[in-house]
Amino acid sequence: MGDVLVIRHGATEWSRSGQHTGVTDLPLLPDGEEDGRRLASVLAGRKIAHAFVSPRARARRTAELAGLFDGSVDAQIDEDLVEVDYGGYEGRSTKEISEEMGRQWSLWKDGTIPGETPGETLEQVARRVDRVITRIRPLLADGDVALVAHGHVLRILTARWLGLGPEAGGLFPLDTGRYGLLGYERERPALRGWNTACP
């Protein structure tokens, strides 16, 4: 039985500045590209049978640099792995939103607001990642499954893997270019590693 590798894309301009990046399709910074190359050495040491990748350029490029599109892995784009639609909070930092609200804002408690896009609730994102989990569970019989996507969507997926509500994603910070391992302990879903840096 394989593990699920949840991989956050490499660094972008907005991940560096703390701006929420949902639908905006930013490229990787040069050190973000290096994040992808470092991931390749980690993935080379595992039996990756399948990969699912967000369609956003930052995730696709990370997966490409990590070697997931070289033909050795059954890799495909998965629309359910796009980042949370932040709506009116797109491109804004937590500090900026909190100052406007007059109190500390948290995606996990306060959610999003409509803007140029409608925004998404945590429950809507949970439905998306539940579909991903349903698709990948049987594939673990073939080996590891890699998911290359974004911070918040992967944190919600992790919470759902563990049988928790989507708001529990707040417990699992995941930095750019880092990964976590989801698997089982005695047939019970378990967290096997988290926010691991690549050598």
Active-site annotation holds for 83 = yes
Q: What's the confidence (pLDDT) of residue 170? A: 97
Quick check: 175 pLDDT over 90?
Answer: yes
Q: Are strands 188-196 and 48-53 parallel, antiparallel or unpaired?
A: unpaired
Residue 114: Cβ-neighbour burial (10 angstroms; 0-12, 13-18, 19+): exposed
What's the mean pLDDT when you consider all of the chain? Answer: 96
Tokens 């759902």 — which residue? 160
Q: Which domain holds residue 170?
A: 4-196
Q: What's the confidence (pLDDT) of residue 198? A: 84
Where residue 53 sits, what CATH number does that domain have?
A: 3.40.50.1240
pLDDT of 126-137, one tens digit each?
Answer: 999 999 999 999
Q: What's the confidence (pLDDT) of residue 82? A: 98
Res. 190 pLDDT band, cuts 50 70 90:
very high
Say how many domains are in the chain.
1
Q: Annotated catalytic residue: which of 33, 50, 83, 152? A: 83
pLDDT of 83-119, one tens digit each?
Answer: 999 999 999 999 999 999 999 999 999 999 999 999 9
